[in-house]
Amino acid sequence: MTDRRVPEGASTAHRDTFARDLLPPRDLWPIMDYSALPELAYPNRLNAAVMLLDEMVVKGFGERPVLYYEGAVWTYRQLQDRADRLARLLVERMGLVPGNRVLLRGTNTPMMVALWFAALKAGGIVVATMPLLRARELIFIVNKAGISHAFSDVRLMAELAEAQTKAPSLKHLLAFTPLGDGANPDADLDRALAQAPAGFANVATAADDIALIAFTSGTTGDPKGTVHFHRDVLAITDCFPRYINVTDPTDIFVGSPPLAFTFGLGAQTLFPMRFGAATVLLDQPTPDALLDAIVRHRCTGLYTAPTMYRVLTGQAGKHDLSSLTKCVSAGEHLPKPTWEAWKDATGIRIVDGIGSTEMLHIFISAAGDAIRPGATGKAIPGYQARLVDDEGRPVAPGGQGKLAVIGPTGCRYLDNLERQRAYVQGGWNLTGDVYEQDQDGYFWYVARADDMIISAGYNISGPEVERVLLEHPKVLECAVVGALDADRGMIVKAFVVPKPEIKPSPELAKELQDFVKSQIAPYKYPRAVEFRKELPKTQTGKLQRFKLKEG
């Protein structure tokens, strides 16, 4: 194993070093092991966008489809042309310099993909955001990452425009349509794109230059920026889709996770493009839309969360899903009954996997005959995994402990030393999950080790929801925990102590739910509200959430 906590790559191409300056000290970085696979021996100069897009055109994939969206089909060459023109706009008309942060806000559309590649080609750092985020959440991200340039789907512009008024670093904000075709007169980026010249001289970034900052909520409630290099982007494409969910140019994938979620970014953009495959992008990935896409495009691969598989199982018999051969589940634990029901309905064995935003993508999984229903799997090629106790000592097979992982990707938080020290210990990444490992090396999920609520594939911070509820004038105290749910895995449940003059009622519960929806992303709202006269606390006044979880 090669300990690469201190990179030895070429000097940075980034003139704006804001993000690099906010990385943790190198002795707090995890072990970065690039020696496990020959594919991970990347050159010191590396631009992930060039490798995944331009090089694929050079290799002969230029005229092959890469993106399907509604009635449109983009080839690799068309995507390259669009990304080049956007990169020129960024540099020549918007003054982007390598190292500037570029925020992207949109659903899963071809223009979101083109903008992602354009930013990397220009040496920028991508910060993609979930489409449901509200202005207050966007303000935090923009200020934390020092965003200078931002692009929003014209349909989602209002919240980002509001955020710009309280984000002094954000100087450039333009709107686009899904295909960048000027379909909406308010899409000023589309108009600029129509006049942009073709071709672009890609920035020769270092392999260890930052490519993206992915934000995720933590137990503290504040979003945390996880930093990933160009090398990392390539590494995830050379592990899971190469060795587990084996991908080839004939594949057509579809899925539900947003491109702003690293699960969606890998599954629906990076993984297929590494191998010359294609993706069907869906604006609204409802069950009906997914099933229709599979049938219409003869999709071979599906990426989604266990919640969606449970819904799709009941409808599978009504559709011709015979083209499907590769089904992947991630985002939350895949229960054995869900796996078995999908197998019975379709004959397909779901490939389960666990990843994290901090690790960028999946690092434990199993495929084919190696799958054991109910188990997540083993460390995939390129990674190592073990269980440790509270003191960091390895736990023998058969025992239970905290999951620790090392590989070619790893956790580096942006300007958050407290979380860095908690997540990375002794060079290992501690994911916050509790697992059991059997004698054959398979990992079996037990629970989250913190207060994160994983609902329908979304990571939701209980403390963040609590802070919003406490802003309501009728709330005295509250606590938010995850409650088991047959359909979503878990739901957000709020225990609320109203102010003395306020009477609990179903109407008050709905009022609080609507308030949360108006302040933060709607998927975070408490689907269950229980009123209490008091909340359990320690003698020192600390809230005992575990007692609420116990019921």
pLDDT reported for residue 221: 60
In-domain check, residue 478: yes
Asked if residue 370 belongs to a domain, the reply is no
492 in a domain, yes or no? yes
pLDDT grade for 540, boundaries at 50, 70 and 90: very low
pLDDT of residue 327: 98
Q: Which residue has the higher pLDDT, 296 or 476?
A: 296
Q: Vertex 20, ends 106 and 240: CA angle to 5°? A: 60
275/225 Cα distance (integer angstroms): 29
Range of the domain at 465: 452-549
| Residues 228 and 256: beta-carbon distance below 8 Å | no
In this structure, what token pair is assigned to residue 396? Answer: 């023998």
What pTM was computed for the model? 0.87
Does residue 242 have a pLDDT over 80?
Answer: yes
The reply to whether 487 falls in a domain is: yes
Q: What is the pLDDT of residues 265-292, one digit of tens each?
A: 999 999 999 999 999 999 999 999 999 9
CA dist., res. 160 & res. 162, Å (int): 5
Query: Is the model's pLDDT at 442 over the cut of 70?
Result: yes
Is 128 inside a domain boundary?
no
Let me know if residue 14 belongs to a domain: no
Q: What is the pLDDT of residue 186?
A: 95
In a domain, 507, yes or no: yes
- The runs of H, that is alpha helices, within 314-428 are 336-346, 417-423
Poorest-confidence range of 49-53, 436-440, 464-468? Answer: 464-468
Q: What is the domain count for the chain?
A: 1
Query: What does the pLDDT average to over 174-190?
Result: 96
**Residue 508: inside a domain, yes or no?**
yes
User: What is the CATH classification number for the domain harbouring 528?
Assistant: 3.30.300.30
Terminal alpha carbon distance of the chain: 46
Q: What is the pLDDT of residues 318-336, one digit of tens each?
A: 999 999 999 999 988 888 8
pLDDT band for position 6 (cuts 50, 70, 90): very low
Listed in order, strand segments (DSSP E) in 139-231 are 149-153, 172-176, 210-217, 223-229
